[in-house]
Amino acid sequence: MILRPPLQPLDNAFTIAYNVGMNYTQYTIRGIPPSLDKELRIMARRSGRSLNAVTLEVLKVGLGIPDWVEPNHDLDDLFGKLDKNEAKLLDEATKELRAIDEHDWQ
């Protein structure tokens, strides 16, 4: 066991500065088997996400945390692409879809 002297004020300042803006708890996980490392990296590469994001997903799913929802980015490139005329045409074309049928709500 390595004994370390008590933290000095400068040590505390560095710790505080390092953690500023970090809203989440951080872990350091040691002893990750090579097979697990390989699979996590493959998942990250295939999904185009970071190793951290994939690891969090695996932990949440493995623990059965129900609020995990995979973000869907299929339509991201469409947002903000319509000019005012196109937006007006789309709004007019879909106006009927926004109508509320009172009979459905009784």
> In the prediction, which pLDDT does 21 show?
61
Question: Which is it for the CA torsion 87, 70, 27, 37, positive or negative?
Answer: negative
> In the prediction, which pLDDT does 33 show?
95
Look at residue 48 and tell me whether its pLDDT is greater than 70.
yes
pLDDT tens, position by position, 61-97: 888 887 756 677 777 777 778 889 998 998 999 988 8
pTM of the full predicted structure?
Answer: 0.44
pLDDT band, very low/low/confident/very high, at 44 (cuts 50, 70, 90): very high
How far apart are alpha carbons 48 and 24 in whole angstroms? 22
Written as six digits, the tokens of 34 are 């090579």
- Residue-range domain boundaries for the chain: 9-95
What secondary structure does DSSP assign to 12-51, as a single string? HHHHHHHHTT--S---------HHHHHHHHHHHHHHT--H
> In the prediction, which pLDDT does 64 show?
85
